Amino acid sequence: DVKVTQSSRYLVKRTGEKVFLECVQDMDHENMFWYRQDPGLGLRLIYFSYDVKMKEKGDIPEGYSVSREKKERFSLILESASTNQTSMYLCASSLAAFSYNEQFFGPGTRLTVL
Amino acid sequence: AQTVTQSQPEMSVQEAETVTLSCTYDTSESDYYLFWYKQPPSRQMILVIRQEAYKQQNATENRFSVNFQKAAKSFSLKISDSQLGDAAMYFCAYTGDDKIIFGKGTRLHILP
């Protein structure tokens, strides 16, 4: 059974803290994605990676960075968390990016920044 | 720029009835892919159905089918014989030209 896991389901952080969200997939997929999901806005792509150590900006990269040191792991980093980054964060992976291949999603991390 | 519009934020349907969720998109590309994803409450998002733009035949997966009208840039999802387990948030998504765009979602309620 294919799996994408995320390190936390719920996270509460304070403004200014550095936050790490971890995502691991066991499908040997080349491509991994980070989205944020907000009510009324749907999913918006933050960053994606098509290979180890490679990253590309999505539609809303400001305030975020990513790291992909191993194929199976893709981390989202909030260098200095702000209240407007309170959101649901979804990780996904796929065999090929922007193609017919479906994306497999993790359960999400609901981040609250106080 | 590509856009995806889901005009129905919420819908309700009686169990065992048929419901259609609408999705329109805008693109200047000729080759692209369209998806419907389902996000049940507190559960992971999963693929429901997908369509390649160059295929004229509408995709079907059991009780789920699409009405793909390329000229009108419309990609609606029909759910037949609705079941309680179909209650979820449904997202329409477009991918092509190194982009993926999701609609804002439609929350579907199933009435017993």
Considering only CA atoms, which of A63, A71, A72, A2 is closest in space to residue A36?
A: A63
Min Cα–Cα distance to chain B from A114, Å = 23
Write the Ramachandran bin of A13: left for phi over 0, alpha for psi from -120 to 50, otherwise beta: beta
Q: Which residues contact B74 (CB under 8 A, 6 or more apart)?
A: B22, B23, B24, B25, B67, B68
Token couple for A6: 């995320």
Interface test with B, best of A6, A88, A105 (most B CBs within 10 A): A105
Return d(Cα A50, Cα A97) in angstroms, integer: 7
Token couple for A89: 């964060």
Inter-chain CB proximity A43 and B47 less than 8 Å? no
What's the Cα-to-Cα distance from B71 to each of A8, A32, B30, rounded to whole Å? Answer: 43, 32, 10
The residue-averaged pLDDT of B82-98 equals 94
Per-residue pLDDT of A13-63, as tens digits, reads 999 999 999 999 999 999 999 999 999 999 999 999 999 999 999 999 999
